Structure 1
Amino acid sequence: MALIEGLILQTTAYREHDLLVKLFTKEAGIITAMARGAKKQKSQLTVVNQPYTWVVVDGVYPKNQQGLGFINSVQESRIYKNVLVDLTTAAYAALIAKDLTVAFEENEPQPVWYAKMLAAFDQLNQQKDPQVIANIVELQLLPVFGVSPNWQKDPLSGAETGDFDYSEKYNGIIEKAHFDMDDHRLHLDQKTVYYLRLFSTIDIQKLGAITLSPVTKRGIQRVIDYLYDRQVGFQPKEKRFIQKMAAFEGQFQIKPRKKEQE
């Protein structure tokens, strides 16, 4: 038996009353644990039905880092309420959870990313822009997927300041003097480049208020989607849901009517 601290990323019904709970734990990284009877109405494990809940449970880690662990009782819990009540925030939380479960093998300790994950959900719960939080996580996860763009300086000249664009050919940013060396550079505006560079290294725990224009947010997302499509080869259904949701909301934006001439 052990006290297991972690965040519930996902739950899956198993048999009539049981639940499989995917936890990102402080000590063992991502694990899957069985919660017997958790779906029963009067179960003391009811809280583990809710994703994006931080818990300390009395349970058992997977034996020999294989198979399932077990959850026997819940000692502490904290629900990220603001993450759940807002549809857009919940959608980005689901995307972050999926990215983490794909990036990391189960039963491998990830203390640095456990701290980052909790910081990300704390920021979501504080009602920071969910797309910004998700973009930071996506950019910082790229090296875990084996993709490490150079956001810091032009590899050709070493320049760290100036006007830059992203070049897949040179795996990162190149300065204006070298734009003609890649006909397929992404033609990014400088504000987008600035935030890509910032988000790739920023400490999520220290994130202050960031307000971005829709144009800049679209530019950042375009680059991230480009990298995940072409270099990671990963397009989760959670992201497609966000895209459809944004398109749906755009259809219902009310445009001001033109004043009729008298």
Structure 2
Amino acid sequence: MALIEGLVLSTTAYRDNDLLVKVFTKDEGIITVMACGVKKSKSAMRPIGQPYTWVVFDGTYPKNKQGIGFANSVQESKIYRHVVEDLTTAAYAALIAKLVTVAFEEHVKQTEWYKKLLAAFAQLNEQKDPQVVTNIIELQLLPVFGVAPNWRADPLTGQVEGDFDYSDKYNGIIEKSHFDMDDHRLHLDQKTVYYLRLFSTIDISKLGSVTLSVVTKRGIQRVVDYLYDRQVGFQPKEKRFIQKMAAFEGQLAIKPRKRED
């Protein structure tokens, strides 16, 4: 038996009242545990059955780091209430949970990413822009997926200040004087480049108030999607749901035409 601390990422139904729960734990990385009876209305285990809840539970780790463990009783819990109650925030939280689930193997300790994940969910719960929080996680996960764009300096001169654009050919930013060396650069505006460089290194726990224009947010998302599609080769259904939701909200925002006599 052990006291296990972690963040609930997702749950899967198993028999009538039981769940298989995927938890990003502090000490063993991602594990899957069986939570018996958790779906019963009066079960004291219910917190572990709610995704995006921080929990401390009495249980057992998977034996020999294989298979599943067991959750026996919840000792402490903290739900990120805004994350689960706001539809848009919940959609971005689901995307973050899917990305880390795919990025990391189970049973491998990820101390820094555990801290980063909790910080991200705290920011979401404080109603920070969920796209901004998610873009930071997406950009900082790229090296875990084996993709490491150079956001720091022009590789040809080492220049760190100036006007830059993203180049697939040079796997990162290039300075304005070298734009003609890649006909397929992304033609990004400088504000988008600035935030891409910032988000790739920022400590998410120290994220302050960030208010970006729709144009800048679209530019950042375009680059993030480009990198995940072209270099990671991964587009989760959670991202497609966000895209469809944004398109639907855009339709609702269109004002009806005035009726002509």
Q: TM-score range by the shorter chain?
A: over 0.9
Residue 98 of structure 2 is matched in structure 1 by 98
Q: 1:46: Cα distance to partner?
A: 1.3
Residue 166 of structure 2 is matched in structure 1 by 166
Q: 1:234: Cα distance to partner?
A: 0.4
Q: 1:254: Cα distance to partner?
A: 3.7
Q: 1:99: Cα distance to partner?
A: 0.3
Tell me how far apart the structure 2 counterparts of residues 146 and 182 of structure 1 sit (CA, whole Å): 23
Q: 1:256: Cα distance to partner?
A: 8.6
Q: 1:47: Cα distance to partner?
A: 1.5
Q: 1:21: Cα distance to partner?
A: 0.3
Tell me how far apart the structure 2 counterparts of residues 49 and 111 of structure 1 sit (CA, whole Å): 23
Mapping of 1:1-262 within 5 angstroms?
1-255=1-255
TM-score by length of 1: 0.97
Q: 1:7: Cα distance to partner?
A: 0.3
Tell me how far apart the structure 2 counterparts of residues 251 and 81 of structure 1 sit (CA, whole Å): 28
Q: 1:220: Cα distance to partner?
A: 0.2
Q: What fraction of aligned residue pairs are identical, expressed as a percent?
A: 78
For 1:51-72, what per-residue CA distance to the aligned partner results, in whole angstroms no more than 9, with x for missing partners?
A: 0000000000111111101000
Q: Do the aligned partners of residues 24 and 46 (structure 1) sit closer, same or farther apart at CA in structure 2, a change above 3 Å counting?
A: same
Amino acid at match of 1:133: V
Tell me how far apart the structure 1 counterparts of residues 112 and 197 of structure 2 sit (CA, whole Å): 20
Tell me how far apart the structure 2 counterparts of residues 65 and 256 of structure 1 sit (CA, whole Å): 58
Tell me how far apart the structure 1 counterparts of residues 254 and 66 of structure 2 sit (CA, whole Å): 54
Tell me how far apart the structure 1 counterparts of residues 38 and 250 of structure 2 sit (CA, whole Å): 40
Tell me how far apart the structure 1 counterparts of residues 149 and 155 of structure 2 sit (CA, whole Å): 11
Tell me how far apart the structure 2 counterparts of residues 155 and 66 of structure 1 sit (CA, whole Å): 43
1:210 is paired with a residue whose SS is coil
For 1:98-130, what per-residue CA distance to the aligned partner results, in whole angstroms no more than 9, with x for missing partners?
A: 000000000000000000000000000000000
Computed over aligned residues only, the root mean square deviation of the Cα atoms, in angstroms, reads 1.2
Q: 1:84: Cα distance to partner?
A: 1.0
Amino acid at match of 1:113: W
Amino acid at match of 2:90: A
Q: 1:257: Cα distance to partner?
A: 7.0
Q: Which runs of 5+ in 1 are unaligned?
A: none
